[in-house]
Amino acid sequence: MGEGHLPVLVDEVLTSLAIGSGSSVADCTVGGGGHAERILETTSPHGRLLGLDADRAAIAEAKRALARFGDRVTLRHANFESIYDVAVDTGSVPLDAVVFDLGLSSYQLADPDRGFSFAADAPPDMRFDETSGLSAVELIDRSSERELAGILATFGEERRAGRIAKAIVAARAEGRIVTAADLAAVVAAAAPGRPGGADAGRIHPATRTFQALRIAVNREIEVLTAGLVGALAALRPDGRMAVISYHSLEDRIVKRFVVRESRDCIEDPLPPVCTCGHRAQLRAVHKGVITAGPEEVRRNRRARSAKLRVAQKLA
């Protein structure tokens, strides 16, 4: 791994989290350690970092990349849905700040054996944690056409979900989906990009299908909500959380979480007298999202779709 992954919006994350010397921070998606390294420099000389990743290879890479920080770093192979328990077990609670940089890293995308990319000459696995759950190819094998169409429509917001699901099921029956590249070719043949359409030539026709399968196998929607709840519980009063998301489904979850946790009453419609007992625990630090400037996007394509939201736990 090493040099291939540039951390996204890293200066904006550091500034928004308002961390400094001695802060204790959890990086829930430590990956190759890009954000973590900058956090450790900023919190030097005594600040501590708890790094989680669902991918064992990422933890091994972070260990190598962050070795110079010695015992200021604690790394755990874990899904961030259990951030609260991991933070308690490692003596990291209360935390001053928590970071989520969602999705997959450039290393995972570039590793042909993981099957994340359209060109991969290996079965589409797509799990962050290869030791648990179903791979994408197993999910395809076990799903009906209708279930597949539902996954593509819900998690990929794919308008041509029905047509693509039908083509995948037909290709599967003929044994034509062995590699991720085979899957991408089946999708591209069933639903080629519209010539002259908004996306023409810019994104691969299988982009939404691959996104949907990845979200499904990693239970990304479910674990994100659990992770945000756990992070909020692990933060100290006035502590901050920063979340970088890369597609609208994720960002919607983060936005709704912050809005919900910023309100005293969450009944809908608002009653004259609150009976739900919910109390606001957060406030959004910025109005709306922070996105990357043209210079960062030029240097790092992954920054194109990044949206950063930051919230502070109320005292």
Ligand X SMILES: C[S@@+](CC[C@H](N)C(=O)[O-])C[C@H]1O[C@@H](n2cnc3c(N)ncnc32)[C@H](O)[C@@H]1O
- Tell me how far CA of residue 307 lies from CA of 62, 64, 239, 289, 304, in angstroms: 24, 28, 20, 6, 9
Asked if 115 interacts with ligand X (CB under 6 A), we say no
Q: Which residue is nearest to ligand X (CB)?
A: 34
Asked if 1 interacts with ligand X (CB under 6 A), we say no
Q: Residue 132: which residues within 8 A CB-CB, separation 6 or more?
A: none
Q: Please name which of 229, 206, 210 lies closest in space to residue 281, comparing C-alpha atoms.
A: 229
User: Six-digit token pair at 43?
Assistant: 């919190």
Among 96, 101, 158, 250, binds ligand X (CB under 6 A): 101
Residues 221-240, interacting with ligand X (CB under 6 A)? 223
Minimum separation from the CB atom of position 248 to ligand X (A): 17
Eight-state DSSP code of residue 290:
B
Asked if 35 interacts with ligand X (CB under 6 A), we say yes
Among 50, 75, 95, 104, binds ligand X (CB under 6 A): 104
List the alpha helices (DSSP H) in the chain: 10-17, 34-42, 56-65, 83-89, 106-110, 136-142, 145-156, 161-173, 180-190, 207-217, 220-234, 248-261, 294-299
Among 69, 80, 210, 257, binds ligand X (CB under 6 A): 80
Asked if 29 interacts with ligand X (CB under 6 A), we say yes
Minimum separation from the CB atom of position 25 to ligand X (A): 12
Among 9, 13, 19, 58, binds ligand X (CB under 6 A): 58
Let me know: does 28 contact 52? Beta carbons within 8 Å: yes
Let me know: does 2 contact 58? Beta carbons within 8 Å: no
User: Six-digit token pair at 85?
Assistant: 């328990």
Asked if 34 interacts with ligand X (CB under 6 A), we say yes
**Nearest to ligand X of 1, 140 (CB atom):** 1
Q: CA–CA separation, 261 vs 278, rounded Å?
A: 9
Among 19, 33, 214, 311, binds ligand X (CB under 6 A): 33
Among 92, 105, 135, 245, binds ligand X (CB under 6 A): 105
Asked if 128 interacts with ligand X (CB under 6 A), we say yes
Asked if 296 interacts with ligand X (CB under 6 A), we say no
Buried-state track 23-44, b at ≥16 Cβ within 10 A, e below 16: bbbbbbbbbbbbbbbebbebbe
Three-state secondary structure call for residue 31: coil
Asked if 24 interacts with ligand X (CB under 6 A), we say no
Half-sphere exposure of 193 (CA within 13 A, CB side): 15
Minimum separation from the CB atom of position 273 to ligand X (A): 39
Let me know: does 164 contact 193? Beta carbons within 8 Å: no
**Nearest to ligand X of 54, 212 (CB atom):** 54
**Nearest to ligand X of 133, 162 (CB atom):** 133
Minimum separation from the CB atom of position 23 to ligand X (A): 17
Residues 255-294, interacting with ligand X (CB under 6 A)? none
Residues forming contacts to ligand X in the complex (CB under 6 A) are 5, 7, 29, 31-35, 52-55, 58, 79-80, 101, 103-105, 128, 223
